[in-house]
Amino acid sequence: MMSADGRVVMISGANRGIGAAIVRRLRAAGFRLSLGVRDTVLTEVGEPARCLVTHYEARERDAAKAWVAATVERYGRIDALINNAGISREAPIEDENEEALDDLWLVNVKAPLRLVRAALPYLKQSRVGRVVNVASLSGKRVRNANNGYAMSKFALVALTHSVRRLGWEHGIRATALCPGFVATDMSANASTVDRADMIRPGDLAELVACLLALPNNATIAELLVNMRYEDTL
């Protein structure tokens, strides 16, 4: 198992839910953090020497380059990227208005792609670079009418495998973290499951810490995390 050893981790969507839980866990483990958030007013950012907070709007084309540049200016390196920022909007097949679909594709697919592209040179230099894309079980199977969300998460899983292939010889290891229902704001209106039964953000953060600690010869391509039994998974 690898230690934090001064490694720098970028985390998008770090100000609430899964992202905030990951921040707390990795900060406790000794990583130096670069947080990309829409609202830079955070209640807990840790020690200033170990935590950079940068405005990051996933919908803005040049936001990834600016955040990566700020991270490198501060720390001089990037060792891991956690693509956690994401949205859920209703975009069923029969809806001819594609505004929601376009927004899902922009935030859930193109934004992570742009961050990977911008951070890739530094992840290669690390030789133990890590990319964790927070996808969803909706990226592995379809259980409802929201095809737009599922399509975006399937694409994010595909991006993960593309990063694994491209970065393998440079020591980059990528994982698609695919949870089911998680007790966050995004699932607040879910009516098909009891909130008390949902996955806790802190448990996902523990898994992310484990992924970052694994050496290059023990890699996990996809990590499916469910709160209930499904015979298709």
Max Cα separation, the chain?
51
DSSP 184: S
pLDDT (0 to 100) of residue 45: 54
75 is catalytic: no
Query: With a cut of 70, which residues of the chain have pLDDT below it?
Result: 41-49, 187-188, 191
Burial grade of 97 (CB within 10 A; 0-12, 13-18, 19 or more) = exposed
Contact 163/146 with Cβ under 8 angstroms? no
Domains in the chain, start-ordered, CATH in brackets? 8-225 (3.40.50.720)
- Say how far apart CA 23 and CA 124 lie, in whole Å: 23
As a whole number of angstroms, the distance between CA 175 and CA 132 comes to 5
pLDDT reported for residue 194 = 85
The pTM of this model reads: 0.94
Tokens at 136, concatenated: 């969803």
Residue of 75, 122, 149, 229 with catalytic role: 149
- Would you call 211 helix, strand, or coil by DSSP? helix
